[in-house]
Amino acid sequence: MFAMSCLDGLLGEDVYLFSGRPVVYLAAVKFCNDIFDSEWRLAERDTYTPDQVSHIFWWVMNEAWDVYCQVNANLPVAWLSIAKKALEWDHVPINFHPWALAILEHFDLERYHAAYHLPRDEYEAITRDLPVVLEGLRNYPVEKLAAPIDEDNWGYIDY
């Protein structure tokens, strides 16, 4: 999905080895909610084609593309927040699905919490969301996978 990285390279142990990380999961969920569930977006949602919805996913991810494609302390929670929204919208792009599923299946929340001492509200939100999102991704029907998101324009102007 990202020309500059390999999925297998994102699944290692390095995500747990950074010296610290900012509190981001709840902010990432809020960002996704603000973009996807704004009043005007919901009013227009029925008019969007699958390609247009996939573009919205690309746009959200492109705002922090390096967080999604490079080993960093926020990699698993960034994928969790966007995958949660993909399932809520029932729009899981075909090239997004294997990356989200693999990254989240390799996410060891207890080890992550031990490494980064998550605030209680963030830890509880991840604890609640992770199994739901994993189940949703594992059971998402292949025939419903949506149009792919753009794979060539990460980091470029997003309009």
Model confidence pLDDT, tens digit, residues 136-154: 999 999 999 998 888 777 7
3-class SS at 93?
Answer: strand
3-class SS at 147?
Answer: coil
pTM for the whole structure: 0.92
Model confidence pLDDT, tens digit, residues 63-76: 888 889 889 999 99
Alpha helices in 37-119 (DSSP H): 39-44, 50-62, 65-69, 75-88, 97-105, 109-116
- What's the full length of the chain, in residues? 159
Mean pLDDT of the chain: 90
Mean pLDDT of 108-118: 95
